[in-house]
Structure 1
Amino acid sequence: MLDIFSGMPFGAATMLALALFFVLAYEFINGFHDTANAVATVIYTKAMPAHLAVIGSGIFNFLGVMLGGLGVAYAIVHLLPVDLLLNVGVGHGLYMVYALLAAAIIWNLGTWYFGIPASSSHTLIGSIMGVGIANALMNNQYWLSGINTKKAIDIMLSLLISPTIGFVMAAILLLALKKWRSQSRMHMTPEERKTTDGKKHPPFWTRATLIASAMGMSFAHGSNDGQKGIGLLMLVLIGLAPAKFALDMDSTTYQIERTVDAAQHMQSFYESNRERLNGKIDLTHSAEHPLPTLFKCESKTTLPAISSLLSTLQGVKSYNDLSGEDRRKVRRILLCLDDTAKKASKLDILSKQEKADLDKLRKDLNATTEYAPQWVIVAVALALGLGTMVGWKRIVLTVGEKIGNKGMTYAQGNAAQLTAASAIGIASWTGMPVSTTHILSSAVAGTMVANKSGLQGGTVKSILMAWVLTLPVTMLLSGGLFWLASVLFA
């Protein structure tokens, strides 16, 4: 880990270390901000003592990060255009990183202080989009050129749709439980259970399900939100130390050869289908056309980019054999080729087999760019797991008592947790970032409506206001801080 600072000036190394520290601080805050959603129902229903619930949740959050993969992480990284990631200077990159981290931390701490279940996902994504848009405007470019608009739309849709799914599915699950066993004690609140049976805890199987679903949700939260932390840390490392992190320096010769083979097969495909594709994808520049030093990700540069890539990687057995600038160029080319292949694979003129082949080639092409060092994964897992064990009480009170007009029954807790854990787990598996907070709070609200308990207007209004305001506020805050830092320290 410490070798990332080798060869860097002391000032730059210090600033990079601070940036890494603040990323982990954000993830720590994310832990106690969002983990309350995972333990709220299990604590409120007396299924587990609070101290055991948060310790167990911290452990399962840690495991979720360690075993969750990297699909969501690189959905976050690819939110910014390749050119912005690889062309910023160290000073400019530091302003960008500090601005987005400051905006995310300020909003997360503010909503936590007031006990409002706001989304850390919205917060992070809004902060990244804010600095991207500000960078474009400051360079007299079209404002949307500062972000990867297609990736942003995909992420926005997942963040918008997932709360609705949580609300509806939790309500349906609760109604199914009521129809299956309408007289069961699972439909009691803790107070009703104590009055009726004189017992403090839920019935055995109900309690076991509540605990299992809470730990499952903690694991799902770690695998989804933990990946966002990994993505943010890689965003910092790729942006501020691209010579060392633009490519996976531990890539084997076989992995590099897979990358070269994928590029060669893509070249053959584009050249043999050039006339058929030209109506949809611009492939006007031939392989002999010179590739500009600072080229943009445009389909017309695809064939020259492949030619340049093959020339650069000819005979290369290890990325350590390349200069820092060549590594940056290779990463830029690989991401641009991936973007063109993604567009091509969605064309109706291609057969199902051709689309499948392109998807396989894309996977081989990205084998050495979509990665994270083990120390990055462990550091994020520890920050999230430790953060889970503190600061949870404010959000627990809101989720457990202030969403519905009546107390939460055991069945409601189970329905909300099972729905949220399933939805977040599926999102992590498909590589889409979603909001743990909004899915669970929506699921709790869905069970309240299905149980005819009614909703507390004030709390629901606060949650909705946070949901609506988080993106624009964090975009303005991070963009404003980035502009201010660039003006003051230029």
Structure 2
Amino acid sequence: MDTFALILTILVALFFTYTNGFHDSANAIATSVSTRALTPRAALAMAAAMNLAGAFIGTGVAVTVSKGLIQTPEGGKGMAILFAALVGAISWNLTTWYFGLPSSSSHALFGGMVGAALAGGTTVYWSGVMNKIVIPMFLSPVVGLIVGYLVMTLIMWIFRRTNPHKAKRGFRIAQTVSAAGMALGHGLQDAQKTMGIVVMALVIADVEEYGDPIPVWVKIVCAMMLSLGTYAGGWRIMRTLGRKIIELDPPQGFAAEATGASIMFTTAYLFRAPISTTHVITSAIMGVGATKRVNAVRWGVAKNIVLGWFITMPAAAIVAACGYWLIDLAVL
């Protein structure tokens, strides 16, 4: 039964990664597709490949997720907590994907972990949740907004005497690089989050110990599932990011993607903080758009997206808690 519970939990964790891929693939490529810098198929293939590569260039975020947010539970109860956390995250991912709302898969996962831990009587490290999740949740969109605005302002000043049509052609090419950077950062951030969950499951099952290197097979399967999910695409969310917030041109798309990628790499390597790629790229698009004129950004759409951010963690936590209670009644 213990082996079955471990295998089932790992499979559900991999399915979460898959939903993360098709849910968040739009983060990396929506701007490039909307400006016609890349075709949808080419963009998805590139994003899938860079997601795969990004999963192998760091482990700091995985460590934070696996032992920095909740006390590692033990035995069958522990595996049930982890399983319920994943169910809560997947439920929210599928709901927001259906409605085309670019909410955060990361915060759905963290909300699920907290909700299931509380329902199961496991200690939540509130200082870790606050410092690694809540504070970055508020700061990263603000930083994305400001940096996006500044980067776009700098681009406008540097290329102020350049022929606009020539500049747009050049930035279409440059967007291939910036979109690849976004996808690499997405792999660095989001594949590691599932790695952390799988490592926690292995520790609960006494297969691994904390402090051991992350098994290579864990890195490979998490990276592959994220890439497969990415290639499956997230067209509903792509339309929201690429068109509904603001009509983007290639220089704006490049500025937003360069901003998002820079913030993701900085937080992963310097702070080991698992931030939301959705939060960063959405706020960067808003900041870039505001350089055109403030009312160029469709703030009504932006308001609905921000509202989704604040609902994500509590909603996933409630679903996860209910899931744990059901498992407790049926199995434990």
TM-score (norm 1): 0.65
Contact 1:122/1:470 (8 A) holds in 2: yes
Name the structure 2 match of 1:379: 221
Q: Residue type matched to 2:37 in 1?
A: A
Name the structure 2 match of 1:89: 75
1:444 correspondence with 2:290: no
Q: Residue type matched to 2:156 in 1?
A: K
Q: 1:77 to 1:185 in 2, by over 3 A?
A: farther
Deviation at 1:465, TM superposition (A): 1.2
Name the structure 1 match of 2:331: 489
More helix by share: 2
Q: 1:81 to 1:29 in 2, by over 3 A?
A: closer
Contact 2:91/2:316 (8 A) holds in 1: no
- Alignment identity in percent? 30
Deviation at 1:66, TM superposition (A): 1.6
Contact 2:199/2:214 (8 A) holds in 1: yes
Deviation at 1:370, TM superposition (A): 5.2
1:153 to 130, 133, 142: 130
Name the structure 2 match of 1:174: 152
Q: Who wins on radius of gyration, i.e. which is larger?
A: 1
Deviation at 1:132, TM superposition (A): 1.6
SS in 1 for 2:68: coil
What's the C-alpha RMSD, in Å, of the aligned pairs? 1.8
Contact 1:224/1:427 (8 A) holds in 2: no
2:95 to 102, 110, 121: 110
Name the structure 1 match of 2:120: 135
Return the alpha-carbon distance in structure 2 between the equivalents of residues 183 and 78 of structure 1. Answer: 52
Return the alpha-carbon distance in structure 1 between the equivalents of residues 117 and 22 of structure 2. Answer: 28
1:78 correspondence with 2:67: yes
Contact 1:131/1:475 (8 A) holds in 2: yes
Name the structure 2 match of 1:347: none
Name the structure 2 match of 1:419: 259
Name the structure 2 match of 1:350: none
Deviation at 1:439, TM superposition (A): 0.3
Aligned residues: 329
Contact 2:147/2:284 (8 A) holds in 1: yes
Counterpart mapping for 1:459-478 below 5 A: 459-478=301-320
Return the alpha-carbon distance in structure 2 between the equivalents of residues 371 and 151 of structure 1. Answer: 22
Return the alpha-carbon distance in structure 2 between the equivalents of residues 161 and 16 of structure 1. Answer: 36
TM-score (norm 2): 0.94
SS in 1 for 2:56: helix
Name the structure 2 match of 1:316: none
1:245 correspondence with 2:203: no
Contact 1:36/1:392 (8 A) holds in 2: yes
2:85 to 73, 76, 100: 100
Contact 1:213/1:421 (8 A) holds in 2: yes
Contact 1:164/1:442 (8 A) holds in 2: yes
1:41 to 25, 31, 34: 31
1:235 to 186, 200, 204: 200
Q: 1:48 to 1:80 in 2, by over 3 A?
A: closer
1:435 correspondence with 2:276: yes
